[in-house]
Amino acid sequence: MRPGLHALIIEDEIIAGVGMQLVLSDLGFDSFAFAGTANQAVEQALIRRPDLVTVDVRLLDGDGVAAAEQISRTIGPSPTVFVTGDPKALANRPGAVVVEKPYGPADMARAYERAREMNA
C-alpha cells in the first residue's frame, strides 16, 4: 500500500464506521473522513479526494449508492467498495465491488485492489 492513503467511510452506524477504520488502518490507510448522510459524503469528498470510498448501501437518510454516484459526478471516479448485508441490493450494478457483512481484513483488501484496478 502507498503511504498517505485517505478513505471516505460512508456509514451511518458509528460502531460499524469505526470497525471499518480499524480494518482499513491495517491495510495502510492513515487518514479518514466519515459521513453518515449522502450530503456529508459529498462534502467530505470535496474537502479531500479519497483513495477509497466505502459505502454502506442503506443509509438511514437515503441511499448509499446514490451518494457514491453523486461523488463520482462531483469529483470523478474513485475506487469504491459497497458494503452490505444484502448483496442483492446491488443486483442492478453488475460491475460494483461488493463486500458482504460481516467482512474481515482479507475481504476488504481484495475489494480495495479490485476497486483500484477498475479505476486505473
The structural domains of the chain, with segments of one domain joined by +, span 5-118
Cα separations in angstroms, 22 against 28, 79, 92, 114 = 10, 19, 30, 20
What pLDDT is recorded for position 2?
53
Alpha helices in 27-104 (DSSP H): 38-47, 64-75
Q: What architecture (CATH level 2) is domain 5-118? A: 3-Layer(aba) Sandwich (3.40)
Q: What is the pLDDT, as a whole number, of residue 3?
A: 60
Looking at residue 43, its pLDDT comes to 96
Each of the 120 residues of the chain gets a pLDDT tens digit; together they read 456 899 999 999 999 999 999 999 999 999 999 999 989 999 999 999 999 999 999 888 878 999 999 999 999 999 999 999 887 888 888 889 999 999 999 999 999 999 999 987
Note the pTM of the prediction, 2 decimals: 0.93
